[in-house]
């Protein structure tokens, strides 16, 4: 093993972000630990098991799609009790809507060591599919990641209208099945012409992209028959004309910083 790679430890739980779906987007560290694991508890409805199974064909794969929280934790504890290398394989990145805290709390209560291996979130895979930046100079320098209230209510002050009113780039997870209701809420605070896009199953072979405006996106989603595993991106950063004109001061010819002396007038914007 190379000296710069941390040793994988038995009796420890690794929360690994599997990425958005394309197995090539699993991190090198995630793939290495997954290959060494004795037990992999994975979200079968979201993680492409068949694509990742080649990394580890000897370990025990446990699909958690139909399991309760207690049953999932039970599998993690059983693996630790057997001195196994245990992986909880989550979609995207475990830190975004990953339901990780409720599991790590139980591990902490028992003094069981655990570690997080970050993954590529679907928000970044969606931006890649749209060939866009989520931020643009002088257009939007803030990105809000959120969801709408469903069976899990939103905390006070995090209502979708309050967040949308900021005018920032808005990325909304776990809400596409209520797209008409969501669009109606957003229309109370954002211009109907605001650029919008929905990406379903970002990076998968059956990825679907819908583009439109806040006024039209619900209809585009219904025409595409998208009901789940999708997110909505809303904001002026999606506007292709604004993207053409956006210029970063960091790379401006007249901008001086620690690695370059700015001594040439910045060319005018086209």
Domain ranges of the chain: 12-120, 123-245
pTM of the entire predicted model:
0.88
Same topology between domain 12-120 and domain 123-245? no
| Pairwise CA distance, residues 194 & 217, whole Å | 10
- Please give the class, per CATH, of domain 12-120: alpha beta
Q: What is the average pLDDT value for the chain, to the nearest integer?
A: 91
Side by side, the strands of the sheet bearing 230-234 are: 143-147, 169-173, 230-234, 195-200, 208-213
Q: What is the mean pLDDT of residues 104-115?
A: 97
pLDDT band at 24; cut points 50, 70, 90: very high
Helix (H) or strand (E) holding 78: helix 69-81
Tokens of 71: 């049953």
Give the CA distances from residue 230 to residues 6, 42, 227, in Å, rounded to whole numbers and listed in that order.
35, 19, 8
123-245: CATH topology is 3.30.950
pLDDT per position as a tens digit, 131-185: 999 999 889 999 999 999 877 888 999 999 999 999 999 999 999 999 999 999 9
- Cα radius of gyration (the chain): 22
Predicted local confidence at residue 1, as pLDDT: 45
């Amino acid at each position: 093993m190379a000296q710069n790679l941390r040793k994988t430890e038995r009796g420890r739980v690794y929360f690994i972000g599997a990425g958005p779906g394309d197995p090539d987007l699993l991190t090198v560290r995630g793939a290495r630990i997954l290959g060494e694991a004795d037990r992999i508890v994975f979200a079968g409805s979201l993680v492409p098991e068949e694509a990742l199974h080649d990394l580890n064909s000897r370990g025990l794969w446990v699909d958690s799609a139909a399991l309760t929280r207690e049953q999932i934790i039970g599998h993690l504890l059983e693996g630790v009790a057997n001195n196994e290398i245990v992986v909880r394989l989550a979609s995207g990145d475990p830190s975004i809507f990953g339901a990780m805290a409720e599991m790590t709390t139980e591990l902490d209560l028992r003094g069981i060591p655990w570690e997080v291996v970050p993954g590529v979130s679907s928000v970044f895979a969606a931006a890649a599919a749209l060939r866009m930046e989520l931020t643009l100079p002088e257009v939007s320098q803030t990105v809000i990641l959120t969801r709408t209230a469903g069976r899990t209510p939103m905390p006070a002050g995090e209502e979708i209208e309050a967040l949308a009113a900021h005018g920032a780039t808005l990325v909304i997870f776990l809400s596409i099945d209520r797209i008409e209701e969501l669009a109606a809420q957003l229309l109370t605070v954002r211009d109907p012409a605001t650029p919008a896009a929905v990406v379903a199953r970002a990076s998968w072979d059956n990825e679907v992209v819908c583009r439109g405006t806040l006024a039209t996106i619900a209809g585009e989603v219904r025409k595409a028959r998208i009901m789940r595993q999708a997110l909505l991106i809303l904001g002026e950063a999606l506007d292709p004309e604004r993207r053409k004109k956006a210029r970063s001061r960091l790379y401006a010819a007249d901008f001086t910083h620690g690695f370059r002396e700015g001594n040439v007038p910045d060319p005018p914007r086209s």
